[in-house]
Amino acid sequence: MLKNQLSALRKEAEEKMISAQSVTQLYELKVQFLGKNGTLSTLMKGMATLSKEIRPEFGKLANEVKGALEQLYELQSVKLKDREIQQGLQANKMDLTLPGPYCSKGSRHPIQIVMDEIVEILSRIGFSVRSGPLIERDHYNFEALNIPKDHPARDMQDTFYIQDPLSPREYVLRTHTSPVQIRTLETEKPPLRILVPGAVFRRDSDISHSPHFHQIEGLLVDTKVSMSDLRGTIAYFVKAFLGSEMKTRFRPSFFPFTEPSAEVDCSCPMCNQMGCRVCGQTGWVEIGGCGLVHPQVFANVKLDPKDWQGLAFGFGIERMAMIKFGIDNIRLFSENDLRFLEQFHL
Amino acid sequence: MKISLNWLGRYVDLDGEHQSPEKLAEQLALCGGLEVDEIHRPGLAFEKVVTGVILEKLKHPSADRLSVCQVSTGHGVVHQIVCGAKNHNQGDKVVVALPGAILPGNFQIKKTTIRGVDSCGMLCSSSELGLNSGSSPELADGILILPSDAAIGTEYADYLGVRDVIFEVKVTPNRSDCLSHFGLAREIAVLTGRICEFPVESFLLDEQSCRSQIKVIVTDHQRCLRYSGICILGVQVGPSPAWLRQSLEAVGLKSVNNVVDATNFVMLELGQPLHSFDISKINGKVEVGSSQKGEKFETLDGTILELTGDELVIRDDNAPIALAGVVGGKNSGINENTTDLFIESALFSSASVRRTSRRFGIETDASYRFSRGVDPEGVLLALNHCSQMIQKIAGGRILREAYDIYSQPIKKPTIELDNAFVNQKIGFEISPVETLAILRRIGCEINDGEVISGQDGNDELPGRFCVKPPSYRWDLRIPEDLVEEVARLKGYPFIPETLSWLKNPPKSHHPEYDLRKRWVNMATGQGFRQTIHYSFVSSQDQNEFLGNLEFLNQCGIIDSHSAVTIKNPLSEAQNVMRLSLGWGLFTTAIHNDRFGQKSGEIFEVGETFSHQVRMTNDSDSVTDPFNEALLLGLCVWGSPIDLWNQKMPPAVYRIKSALENMVRQSQLGQLHFQSIPNDQLAGFLHPQQATLLSCLGTPVGYLGTLHPVVCERYKLRVDCAIAEVNLYKLNKILTRKMVPISKFPVMQRDLAFVMPLELPVGEVVAEIQRVAGNSLREVCVFDVYQGEGLALGSRSVGFRMKFQNLEKTLTDTEIQKVQDEIVSFLAQKFSISLRS
């Protein structure tokens, strides 16, 4: 009798669950048949009236039914949920051609991008950054770098002087990053390899000159340093910065703080040395100056030139950025026009 | 400096270089270190001037003095030309200026009609071509008849061979030896292996002695190292011959008269500045010595200078007659009436000439050369050469016994050079033989005692030499200087590329660099674009904009009120160093707004400058009297067009979020936003929308909306806000330490309080944090409501608090206890209560 009821219940529950139309309806059926006070539970409570002999058999049967129904429920539940999701998709259609919310776009200044990249490249071969003040003592900017007063080399760099009637010293806006060479050599012991990126100032303003511009300078001091080390360093840098196919060449030049001195040209990256406006049809563009540290510079910081040798090089950041990004007017760097700045995403 | 290749050709064989001067220019740059900035071809002055032959000469139908010629310029081209000269005949070879030609004196040849007859060009006379003036007047009057074998149809420049090439050469300050044609010829000879010679011509001296004419004494031997001079009597001052005029004009000098031109020519030829005095204007003796303070001096061009007592001058018994090495005096200069000359050729100290030239702002060809150094051994050569030249073109007698006061002859330095050192410095093996050959090529003497040939005449030389550089190479002083000579003449391209020093370990960057880079990256990450502004600004703009500087001091942006002034600014618009980044950012906002960028987010990480506060007139040698601060400045203006799904918060809040994010990213702690009393506020900020930024009690900056009055003044009609943070100060306070993470669950509670509008929410938040202590992980404002259901002047603020403990799971009771404490403390302190 109970057995018949059990199989009837199973049949009814199975049919209803299979034909359930929603997850809610299915859940209600689960409660109705399998819940605490559901049909199956009620039926199983009736087990107490059964004889000891058939009770276990019935119990086993009842558990079988329960297991089967639960399994069916899980199966149906997954099926129905999936169906509901599928149906919901259409209703939640979004027009993705509409714009997303505003999100301002940050960017580094091209000068910063070039400076960071040069620092990164030279950090790889162990150069580390040093810095110094922009309002610099005349001594560090000139004298200690072997540029005495009344020396024609001072004409190479038109200088801004600082008004400070109280000070016994003369101050300038540094005309190059080289004073940091001296400051570093005064405080740190060689051997060393340093890099000085930063702002410099010269009293000069036209289409290719800005009174406030940027340089990066490298100084390496060791017991033995040669011109070939200088060539190797510069060649490594140019290849890493502008591309492995780039060539460099040295031209003799003059800087009071290096001897020998050279100007560095690299093969024109615009025209592949075919000749263009940027390189003035020569196939080469000037990127900076370099040389071996003048013994007088070592003497000025109380290092014995017999014990120490060095190499130094410097590049104009604006110039590098102009070459790298094909920029033709130096004013763009200080104008800060967003139409210019937004072209640099790095 | 302008260099004429034709002129160079007097001293060095430049065969073939005229055709491709670019090659020579490159060689000068690559091995000489002398950049040729520009190459001109002035032979083009004779453009459209060709040789021709007169085929037919007829009388002009309506003018007796004119003739009508048919002139062939070859290739079957015939021109009809009306001519006024008489000396030409049919069959003569002539020089024809065709329409379009521009003859000396900017004389433009055009197609014209002369008395009813067309004339297509001009038959030229020598003077019209600017060629001579010394030849007989009859010849000068008529047109130039070329020899009968002259080829017709040739461009006249080619016929004459005057096709010159002018180099604009950039000479670095060390190479004063190249500041002349002969000097450059010498360098070209070194670079190309050619021979360079200076043609010395002898001349006759008069019986009379210079000493009888004039007395010369030198009283300052420190600054006047060598002084020589000669007298030439009875010269005739007049125009220079064409070749001299042309030579000078080709390199950009104006012809004055034959005597002045001769001194200029020799200066450009040998690099030795010369000066000519009119003997009749010299009163008494000539003395080289110091000026007197307050003394007046009138230069050749009429400028009156007041001397300081520091200048080296040439004077006679009455007054200075020249500023030594810089400029001559009006009182002693020569003119067309001068007949007797005293020519000076001297060596003045570089520093002294440079100082004087800078002091008065007078730079002359002479001072330029003296301040870079002239050849002490070339002084007499130049004097003699110039005298001979003057005599040739202006006549006169050259007196004997020229002065040459050279009390302490300059000794050539002897440089000891070890070939091993050369090799080590270059990083490349160069044999002693090659080193020696190069040094000899540039004119060095090698002390013979030091160079001993090895046995069997092979190349084995001892590694060490004693080298005496030539007198004109002031720049060769130490072994490194010689290393450079060897390296450049061997050729820089031969030097291998090595990185032999990589053995030493690297060190870390200066912390300032890392700081700067970190903030640039963070601000970029917050969606701001980096800008870079000049470090100098107009003091007027800066003061007007910033207004009350005390405010910037209060919030830690500046340490003193005084801006650093530039002594020699380019303009008033850039005359002081900036105190703050605010003005620059604001001008960029204005600039971009004007150009159609109606909204933007920008920042700058940069230095600002101020004078240090000084007690008294201290002369502390260790510290410098300036502060350089590193600031972060942020500026937001306008609102990007309101999108379909979004409304932008005010600019000032957008900066605030960015600032808080950055401070959080640095794991620094927390920024506090303190209100500022109105009377302490800077003029450029909105009094109701500005706040001081502090971190752990130290002021580090400010944030605020720009004052509407300031915006209106510059016609910026959008919402604009600015913040500045002193990065050095902030960095000192903040630490970058990892905070441990709790593995216990987070419990969240929301509380809403009704409070007066004037009560800053930030103060309530701070109090909640203080009372809740360590177990409060985070508190944020999730709702602000004012309106219906609340009393006027009050608002409801909802706080969401997240509780979490490092050691255990918090129980409801524990959290309830903290919550009750918060409510009662807030009630006590601010008299506010929970919203019911």
CB contact under 8 A, B500 and A125: no
CB contact under 8 A, A135 and B569: no
Determine what percent of chain B is predicted with pLDDT higher than 70: 94
| pTM of the predicted model as reported, rounded to 2 decimal places | 0.76
User: Which of A153, A191, A292 comes nearest B173 by C-beta?
Assistant: A153
Neighboring chain B residues of A235 at a CB cutoff of 8 Å: 497
Q: Using one digit for the tens of pLDDT, what is the confidence trace for B361-399?
A: 999 999 999 999 999 999 999 999 999 999 999 999 999
Residue the block writes with tokens 């009163």: B283
Would you place residue B455 in the very low, low, confident or very high pLDDT band (cuts 50, 70, 90)? very low
Neighboring chain A residues of B355 at a CB cutoff of 8 Å: 150
pLDDT at A206: 81
CB contact under 8 A, A101 and B643: yes
A&B contacts, CB < 8 Å: 284
pLDDT at B133: 46
Neighboring chain B residues of A183 at a CB cutoff of 8 Å: none
pLDDT at B135: 44
CB contact under 8 A, B502 and A125: yes
Q: Using one digit for the tens of pLDDT, what is the confidence trace for B798-811?
A: 999 999 988 888 89
> Taking CA atoms, what residue in A is nearest to B38?
A280
Chain CA centroid to CA B70, Å: 57
Determine what percent of chain B is predicted with pLDDT higher than 90: 57
CB contact under 8 A, B33 and A251: yes
pLDDT at B579: 95
Q: Using one digit for the tens of pLDDT, what is the confidence trace for B716-768?
A: 999 999 999 999 998 887 666 667 788 899 999 999 999 999 898 988 998 99
pLDDT of residue B620 exceeding 60: no
pLDDT at B43: 66
Contact between residue A154 and residue A189 where contact means Cβ atoms under 8 Å apart? no
Contact between residue B676 and residue B690 where contact means Cβ atoms under 8 Å apart? yes
DSSP state of B330: T
Would you place residue B519 in the very low, low, confident or very high pLDDT band (cuts 50, 70, 90)? very high
Within the 6-35 window of chain B, which residues sit less than 8 Å (CB to CB) from chain A? 26, 29-33, 35
Would you place residue B454 in the very low, low, confident or very high pLDDT band (cuts 50, 70, 90)? very low
> Taking CA atoms, what residue in B is nearest to A115?
B517
- Out of A45-49, B53-57, B707-711, least confident range: A45-49
DSSP state of B319: S
Determine what percent of chain A is predicted with pLDDT higher than 90: 58
CB contact under 8 A, B495 and A227: yes
Mean pLDDT, all residues of chain B = 88
User: Which of B173, B501, B535 comes nearest A199 by C-beta?
Assistant: B535
pLDDT of residue B141 exceeding 70: no
pLDDT at B448: 59
Residue B718, chain A, CB below 8 Å: the answer is no
Q: Using one digit for the tens of pLDDT, what is the confidence trace for B676-690?
A: 877 778 889 998 899
pLDDT at B633: 97
Name the CA dihedral angle for A329, A333, A336, A340, rounded to a multiple of 10 degrees.
Answer: 60
Would you place residue B671 in the very low, low, confident or very high pLDDT band (cuts 50, 70, 90)? confident
CB contact under 8 A, A251 and B30: yes
pLDDT at B315: 94
pLDDT at B403: 95
Q: Give the phi and the psi of residue A21 in degrees, each rounded to 5.
A: -105, -15
pLDDT of residue B38 exceeding 70: yes
pLDDT at B452: 46
Q: Which two tokens stand for residue B3?
A: 């260099």
Q: How far is A153 from chain B (nearest CA, A)?
A: 6
Q: Which residues contact B817 (CB under 8 A, 6 or more apart)?
A: none
Most B CBs within 10 Å, among A102, A155, A196, A296, to test the B interface: A102
Q: Is residue A82 helix, strand or coil?
A: helix
Most A CBs within 10 Å, among B480, B482, B603, B639, to test the A interface: B480
Mean pLDDT over A250-270 rounds to: 92
Q: Using one digit for the tens of pLDDT, what is the confidence trace for B393-444?
A: 999 999 999 999 998 898 888 999 999 999 999 998 898 889 999 999 999 9
pLDDT at B161: 59
CB contact under 8 A, B427 and A226: yes
Neighboring chain A residues of B513 at a CB cutoff of 8 Å: 119, 129, 131, 197
Within the 342-371 window of chain B, which residues sit less than 8 Å (CB to CB) from chain A? 350-352, 354-355, 371
pLDDT at A97: 84
CB contact under 8 A, A161 and B566: yes
Mean pLDDT over B18-47 rounds to: 84
d(CA B102, CA B45): 7
pLDDT at B137: 45
Q: Which residues contact B596 (CB under 8 A, 6 or more apart)?
A: none
Contact between residue B637 and residue B587 where contact means Cβ atoms under 8 Å apart? no
- Out of A221-235, A318-332, B180-194, least confident range: A318-332
Q: How far is A86 from chain B (nearest CA, A)?
A: 27
pLDDT at A49: 80
Write out the E strands in A146-222: 162-163, 171-173, 192-201, 212-222
CB contact under 8 A, A338 and B529: yes
Q: How far is A216 from chain B (nearest CA, A)?
A: 13
Neighboring chain B residues of A208 at a CB cutoff of 8 Å: none
pLDDT of residue B37 exceeding 50: yes
pLDDT at B628: 93
CB contact under 8 A, A211 and B534: yes
Q: Using one digit for the tens of pLDDT, what is the confidence trace for B159-171?
A: 765 678 899 999 9
CA distances from A236 to A118, A124, A141, A198 (A): 11, 11, 28, 22
Query: How many other β-carbons are positioned within 10 Å of the β-carbon of residue B437?
Result: 12
How high is the ipTM of this complex?
A: 0.78
Within the 456-485 window of chain B, which residues sit less than 8 Å (CB to CB) from chain A? 475, 478, 480-481, 483-484
Closest to B498 (Cα-Cα) out of B435, B428, B430, B431: B428
Higher pLDDT pick, B639 / B135: B639
Q: Using one digit for the tens of pLDDT, what is the confidence trace for B280-326?
A: 999 999 999 999 999 999 999 899 999 999 999 999 999 999 999 99
User: Which of B172, B500, B595 comes nearest A254 by C-beta?
Assistant: B172
Higher pLDDT pick, B24 / B447: B24
CB contact under 8 A, B535 and A134: yes
pLDDT at A278: 75
CB contact under 8 A, B530 and A107: yes
Q: Using one digit for the tens of pLDDT, what is the confidence trace for B485-506?
A: 999 999 888 888 888 888 777 8
Neighboring chain B residues of A135 at a CB cutoff of 8 Å: 564, 577, 609, 624, 626, 628
Q: What value, to the nearest 5°, has the Cα angle with vertex B380 and ends B375 and B384? A: 130
User: Which of B30, B35, B568 comes nearest A203 by C-beta?
Assistant: B568
> Taking CA atoms, what residue in A is nearest to B570?
A203
pLDDT at B460: 52
pLDDT at B829: 92
CB contact under 8 A, B498 and A222: no
pLDDT of residue B263 exceeding 80: yes
- Out of A83-87, B156-160, B387-391, B546-550, least confident range: B156-160
pLDDT at B736: 62
Query: How many other β-carbons are positioned within 10 Å of the β-carbon of residue A211?
Result: 21
pLDDT at B617: 54
Closest to B311 (Cα-Cα) out of B301, B333, B330, B296: B296
pLDDT of residue B138 exceeding 50: no
d(CA B579, CA B608): 5
Residue B706, chain A, CB below 8 Å: the answer is no
User: Which of A111, A169, A337 comes nearest B532 by C-beta?
Assistant: A111
Closest to B545 (Cα-Cα) out of B400, B666, B720: B720
d(CA B694, CA B556): 9
CB contact under 8 A, A229 and B624: no
Higher pLDDT pick, A245 / B104: A245
Q: How far is B653 from chain A (nearest CA, A)?
A: 14
Report the DSSP beta bridge partners of residue B673: B693
pLDDT of residue B516 exceeding 60: yes
Neighboring chain A residues of B534 at a CB cutoff of 8 Å: 211-212, 334
Within the 163-202 window of chain B, which residues sit less than 8 Å (CB to CB) from chain A? 172-175
CB contact under 8 A, A252 and B492: yes
pLDDT of residue B195 exceeding 70: yes
